[in-house]
Amino acid sequence: MNHITRLALLLAPLIIAGCSSNKIDIDYQTDVDFNQLNSFVVASSGDAQEPLMMARLIEAATANLANRGWQQTDSEQSNGVTVYISTNKELRAKDPDMKIGVGGGSFGSSGGVSGGVNIPIGASEEQILLLRLDLVQQGELLWRGNNEMRLRGNDSPQKRNSKLTTLVEQLLGQFPPQPVN
């Protein structure tokens, strides 16, 4: 094998691990026909500690549902759904980004010994945004979805908007739930 092929084989698992999906958690009432739902109103639940972020999330959820053909209403209707958006932030311990390894190899008939040692280079914390969407009809919870993303303080407003839109799209991509046959 040439060096490029070897390098690609070594890096493939790292690339796949780096593209892992968010921790999406979905729960819903199984006896509800979600295809009958077609109107909504969006509301934030609780106090919005981050009003700009909440406005972006409301805009993303509204656009996503409107693109599916749902009609936005000004208030709850008899068949309308209220989409409650709530957020929470938490700090989590972050694994060290840097590790040091030592090794050796072999070439031809010469042999070698190798070994590796991971040395953590400090620890830190990262800020995580937890997003919850609740679809409620006449006071009854029909569908709940949770998703999360890592927040970076140095993100531009455009980048933050893009990340929040993706977060909502990933979550509402699981809606409506598909019937199990």
161, amino acid identity: N
What is the model's pLDDT at position 134?
Answer: 92
Task: Please give the model's pTM, rounded to 2 decimal places.
Answer: 0.68
What number is the average pLDDT over the span 154-169? 90
What is the model's pLDDT at position 167?
Answer: 92
Rounded to 5 degrees, φ, ψ at 120 are -65, 135
Q: What CA–CA distance (Å, rounded) separates 95 from 67?
A: 39
Exposure string for 63-82, b = 16+ CB within 10 A, e = fewer: ebbeeeebeeeeebeeebbb
**Which of 72, 9, 50 minimizes the C-alpha distance to 164?**
50
Domains of the chain, CATH where assigned: 23-90+124-174 (3.30.160.670)
What average pLDDT is seen over the chain?
A: 77
Q: What CA–CA distance (Å, rounded) separates 75 from 81?
A: 9
170 has a pLDDT exceeding 80:
yes
87 and 50 Cβ atoms separated by less than 8 Å: yes
Q: Which tokens is 101 given?
A: 């390894």
Residue bearing the bigger pLDDT, 146 or 19 = 146
User: Which residues, 6+ apart, have CB-to-CB distance to 98 below 8 Å?
Assistant: 120, 121
**Which of 172, 177, 176, 139 minimizes the C-alpha distance to 22?**
172
Q: How confident is the model at residue 74 (pLDDT cuts 50, 70, 90)?
A: confident
User: Which residues, 6+ apart, have CB-to-CB distance to 38 below 8 Å?
Assistant: 69, 70, 71, 79
How do 124-137 and 81-94 pair as beta strands?
antiparallel
Is 16 strand, coil or helix?
helix
**Which of 74, 68, 67, 69 minimizes the C-alpha distance to 42?**
74
